[in-house]
Chain A
Amino acid sequence: MNDPLLIAVIIRILLVLILGTAVLVITQRSLRSLFTIYSIQSLLLALLALVLYWQEGIFSLLLISLLTLVSKAIVIPLFLRRLLRKIPIKRDLEFRYLTPISSILVSIGLLFGVYRLFYKLSDELNFEPLFLLGTVIGVSLALMGMMVIFSRRKVITKTVGYLTMENGVLLFGLFVAELPFIIEVLILVDLLMILVLASLLAFGIDSTIESFHERLRNFGMEAEE
Chain B
Amino acid sequence: MAENIIWISGIPALLSSGLVLLVSRCFKRAGNHHYSLLAIIQAVIYMGLSIWMASLNRPVELSGNGYFYMDTLAVFEILITAALFLLAAIYSRGYIDSLLKQEEIEESLLPVFYGSFCLLETVLIMGFLSNNLALLWIFIELSTIFSAVLIVTLKARENITAALKYVFVASTSMLFTFMGIIILFSLSQEAISGGSLNWNSLMENAAGFNQSAFNVAFILMLIGFGAKSGMVPFHTWMPQAYAKAPSAVSVMYGPVLNLGLFAIIRLFSISHQTGGTGLVSTTLLSIGTLTIGVAAFSLLARTNTKKVIAFSAIEQTGLALVGMGLASPLAFFWVVFNQLAQPFIKALLFFSAGIWHRQYLSNKISAVIQPMSHQPLASIGLIAGIAAAAGTPLLPVFLVKFNILSVLAEKPLLFFVVLVLFMVVAAGMGYYFLKAFSQKGGAEIGQFKTPLSMKLPIIVCMVIILILGVHVPSWLTDIINTICAELGMCA
Contacts and interface: CB of A to CB of B under 8 A. Distances in A.
Answer yes or no: are A and B bound together in one complex.
yes
B195 interface: yes
Interface stretch (A9-17, A69-77, A88-96, A183-191): A183-191
Given A121-B216, A197-B148, A216-B112, A205 B161 contact: yes
B145 A204 contact: no
A26 B270 CA distance: 38
Interface stretch (B31-39, B152-160, B373-381): B152-160
Given A124-B210, A183-B135, A197-B148, A173 B160 contact: no
B160 A177 contact: no
25 contacts: A124-B210, A142-B175, A149-B172, A162-B168, A162-B171, A162-B175, A173-B182, A177-B195, A179-B134, A183-B134, A183-B135, A183-B138, A190-B138, A190-B141, A194-B145, A198-B164, A201-B148, A201-B160, A204-B160, A209-B156, A209-B157, A216-B109, A216-B112, A216-B153, A217-B108
Contact of B213 (A121, A173, A193, A198): A121
B106 A213 contact: yes
A186 B189 contact: no
B167 interface: yes
Contacts of A190: 138, 141-142
Contacts of A209: 155-157
Contacts of A216: 109, 112, 149, 152-153
Interface stretch (A31-39, A41-49, A50-58, A164-172): A164-172
B135 A169 contact: no
A29 B141 CA distance: 29
Give the 5 A-B CB pairs with smallest separation, nearest first. A177-B186, A204-B160, A183-B134, A177-B185, A124-B213
B132 A201 contact: no
Interface residues of B, number: 45
B465 to A, nearest CB: 35
A179 B163 contact: no
B427 interface: no
Interface string B185-214: 111010000010100000000000010110
Given A121-B216, A183-B135, A176 B168 contact: no
Interface residues of A, number: 36
B183 A194 contact: no
Given A205-B161, A213-B155, A176 B186 contact: yes
B167 A172 contact: no
B182 A198 contact: no
The B contact surface, by secondary structure, is helix
Contacts of B138: 183, 186-187, 190
A186 B182 CA distance: 15
B179 interface: yes
A204 B155 CA distance: 11
Contact of A201 (B164, B181, B186, B213): B164
A19 interface: no
Given A165-B175, A176-B182, A213-B155, A201 B195 contact: no
Contact of A125 (B108, B153, B186, B197): B186
A125 B213 CA distance: 7
Interface in B405-425: none
B262 interface: no
A121 B216 CA distance: 9
A176 B186 CA distance: 6
Interface string A125-149: 1000000000000010010001001
B178 interface: yes
A114 B371 CA distance: 55
A157 B185 CA distance: 32
Nearest to B132: A183
A197 B145 contact: yes
A219 B21 CA distance: 12
Nearest to B214: A124
Contacts of A176: 182-183, 185-186
Contacts, number: 110
Given A177-B189, A179-B182, A183-B135, 16 more contacts: A125-B213, A142-B179, A155-B164, A162-B172, A162-B175, A166-B175, A172-B182, A176-B186, A180-B134, A190-B141, A193-B142, A194-B141, A194-B144, A209-B155, A216-B153, A217-B109
Contacts of A205: 160-161, 164
Contact of A197 (B167, B187, B189): B167
Most buried by B among A124, A173, A176, A177: A177
Contacts of B145: 193-194, 197
B446 to A, nearest CB: 27
A43 to B, nearest CB: 21
Given A125-B213, A194-B145, A197-B148, A213 B164 contact: no
A216 B108 CA distance: 10
Contacts of A186: 134-135, 138
B142 A169 contact: no
Nearest to A146: B172
A177 B108 CA distance: 46
A81 B179 CA distance: 29
Nearest to A214: B108
Nearest to A205: B160
B186 A213 contact: no
B105 to A, nearest CB: 9
A172 B179 CA distance: 7
Contacts of B182: 169, 172-173, 176-177, 179
A119 interface: no
A158 B168 contact: yes
Contacts of A197: 145, 148-149, 167
Contacts of B149: 197, 216
Contacts of B176: 142
Contacts of A173: 178, 182
Most buried by A among B135, B160, B176: B160
A162 B111 CA distance: 29
Nearest to A194: B171
A125 B183 contact: yes
A194 B216 CA distance: 27
A149 B164 CA distance: 12
B179 A213 contact: no
Contacts of B186: 125, 176-177
Given A125-B183, A209-B155, A213-B106, A194 B167 contact: yes
